[in-house]
């Protein structure tokens, strides 16, 4: 199959934002005789359009979203947009335009935006049906009325982009069937697992949860047990069937994602312009004097969704063939004199702000490991893979909580993973700011584990 399944389309929302703003700005051109007035309008309407769209969830449309929900979003957005346009022309009274002309402009804008939005919605459905693209492979664990209802939904609604591969009946030999299901998921590259709550014991349920976490599989539950309604899970509806998601990740919310990415870009640009611009030439001299080799050291690490990327640092060791294999230890003879200083003060990590600007990393997040170490820890440390649900960071909650530097034993890395998962599930901008402050404080006073 030439089509990528994927969890999300990373381009669809930015393209939608861009096209909608192009429509809004182009249709407004005839209103303005002076370029300065037109530019003021573009800035005003673009900023408020993005803010309002994020708050109103205007672009939060998924494969299971109903048409009535889309129409409701369009209606709500059109009312807010109308108020914004009239507010602009009311404030800039020197731009005299009749109420009729403004009303026509709003109608034209939302007619085109509605056509575009609905066209994309229907084209994606046709794309899934006719070409089999943009789909997700799913299996169901448990066989009862609810799970069969879900199976029929997947089969009868191919436009939603779910391909049902198999339903596992857990009525007999549950342990053996669960093992068979988990093996089947790996061998067939299944994307999502749907579990019947009523047919699994707590122990079996925990086993499936651990498997999903450690293999980066999306796990959802079918609430066919009354007790599950007392727990705090995220609900979605496929048709009229409620589906529960196991883990809610705050950064998956598009407003939070926008806030975090904006913070990353602003902070990275500040460091690159005001620190790296003069520090890099200065350090280059000392690094080159002490040992031959490049100023920067790059190493493959695993990032978001386990994808590999090159992580940048100032070179602190003499060039050696073991740099990509063995973690640095205290008193490591490979480290240069200038290397000891920049490692002690964490200056060697500053080039990673280039990774942040590129989008490979975030300022705050789980620290990425060498690829070889990631494979090793993934096999021996439970839930280690969960940390790859978000971007890795230059610093993280684990690092400011005493778990930075050399991994001393399995207990050390287990505690680091616990902090990483806590951060993933409890992210906030204030938490990021707190971690950044503590990181700077630790760098200034000197950390015993920085070597």
Residue closest to 414 by CA, chosen among 446, 382, 389, 441: 382
pLDDT in tens, 263-299: 999 999 999 999 999 999 999 999 988 888 899 999 9
- Spatial contact of 431 and 365, defined as CB atoms under 8 Å apart: no
| Every domain range in the chain assigned CATH 3.40.50.2300 | 136-248
Q: What is the pTM of this model?
A: 0.63
C-alpha separations of 115 from 119, 123, 150 in Å: 6, 12, 31
φ, ψ of residue 55 in degrees (nearest 5): -65, -40
Bridge partner residues of 313 (DSSP): 297
CATH 3.40.50.2300 applies to domain 136-248: yes
Residue 134's nearest CA partner among 153, 165, 164, 162 is 162
Report d(CA 83, CA 71) in Å as an integer: 19
Tens of pLDDT, residue by residue over 419-430, are 998 899 889 888
Q: Is 295 exposed, middle or buried (0-12, 13-18, 19+ CB in 10 A)?
A: middle
Of 39 and 408, the structure prediction assigns the larger pLDDT to 39
When mean pLDDT is compared across 19-23, 72-76, 152-156, 241-245, the lowest value belongs to 241-245
Share of the chain above pLDDT 90, in %: 32
**Measured on CA atoms in the order 151, 152, 153, 154, is the torsion positive or negative?**
positive
Locus of tokens 């100023």: 295
Mean of pLDDT values over 189-193? 92
How far is the C-alpha of 164 from the C-alpha of 439, rounded, in Å? 47
Phi and psi at 267, nearest 5°, equal: -70, -40
Report which of 314, 320, 311, 312 is spatially closest to residue 342, judged by C-alpha positions: 314
List, as one string, the DSSP characters of 334-401: TB-HHHHHHHHTTGGGTTHHHHHHHTS-EEESPPP-BHHHHHHHHHHSTTGGGGGGS--EEE-TTGGG
> pLDDT tens for residues 50-82?
988 888 888 877 766 777 788 888 888 999 999
CB atoms near residue 64 (< 10 Å): 17
Give the model's confidence band at 392: pLDDT under 50 very low, under 70 low, under 90 confident, else very high: very high
pLDDT tens digits, residue range 316-348?
A: 888 766 655 556 666 677 888 888 888 888 899
The confidence score (pLDDT) of residue 2 equals 34
């Amino acid at each position: 199959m030439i089509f990528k399944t994927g969890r999300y389309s990373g381009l669809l929302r930015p393209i939608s934002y861009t096209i909608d703003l192009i429509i809004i700005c182009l249709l407004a051109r005839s209103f303005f005789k002076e370029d300065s007035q037109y530019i003021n309008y573009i800035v005003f309407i673009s900023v408020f359009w993005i803010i309002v769209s994020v708050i109103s969830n205007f672009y939060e449309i998924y494969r299971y979203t109903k048409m009535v929900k889309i129409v409701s979003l369009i209606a709500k957005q059109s009312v807010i947009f109308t108020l914004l346009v009239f507010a602009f022309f009311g404030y800039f009274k020197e731009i005299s335009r009749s109420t009729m002309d403004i009303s026509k402009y709003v109608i034209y804008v939302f007619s085109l935006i509605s056509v575009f939005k609905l066209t994309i919605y229907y084209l994606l459905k046709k794309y899934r049906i006719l070409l089999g693209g943009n789909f997700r492979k799913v299996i169901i664990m448990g066989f009862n009325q609810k799970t069969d209802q879900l199976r029929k939904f997947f089969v009868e609604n191919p436009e939603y982009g779910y391909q049902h591969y198999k339903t596992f009946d857990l009525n007999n030999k549950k342990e053996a069937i669960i093992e068979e299901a988990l093996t089947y998921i790996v061998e067939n590259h299944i994307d999502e697992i749907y579990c019947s709550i009523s047919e699994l014991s707590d122990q079996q349920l925990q086993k499936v949860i651990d498997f999903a976490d450690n293999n980066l599989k999306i796990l959802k539950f079918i609430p066919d047990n009354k007790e599950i309604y007392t727990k705090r899970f995220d609900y979605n509806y496929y048709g009229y069937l409620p589906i529960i998601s196991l883990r809610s990740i705050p950064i998956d919310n598009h407003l939070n994602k926008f806030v975090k990415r904006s913070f990353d870009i602003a902070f990275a640009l500040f460091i690159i312009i005001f620190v790296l611009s003069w520090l890099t030439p200065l350090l280059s001299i000392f690094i080159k004097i002490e040992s031959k080799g490049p100023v920067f050291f790059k190493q493959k690490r695993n990032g978001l969704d386990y994808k590999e990327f090159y992580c940048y640092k100032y070179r602190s060791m003499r060039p050696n063939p073991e740099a990509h294999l063995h973690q640095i230890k205290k008193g490591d003879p490979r480290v240069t004199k200038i290397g000891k200083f920049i490692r002690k003060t964490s200056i060697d990590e500053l080039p990673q702000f280039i990774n942040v600007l590129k989008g490979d990393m975030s300022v705050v997040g789980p620290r990425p490991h060498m690829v070889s170490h990631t494979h090793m820890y993934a096999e021996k440390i439970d839930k280690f893979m969960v940390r790859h649900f978000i971007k890795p960071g230059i610093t993280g909650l684990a690092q400011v909580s005493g778990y930075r530097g050399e991994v001393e034993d399995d207990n050390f890395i287990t505690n680091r993973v616990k902090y990483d998962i806590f951060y993933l599930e409890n992210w906030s901008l204030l938490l990021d700011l707190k971690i950044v402050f503590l990181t700077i404080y630790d760098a200034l006073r000197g950390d015993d584990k920085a070597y």
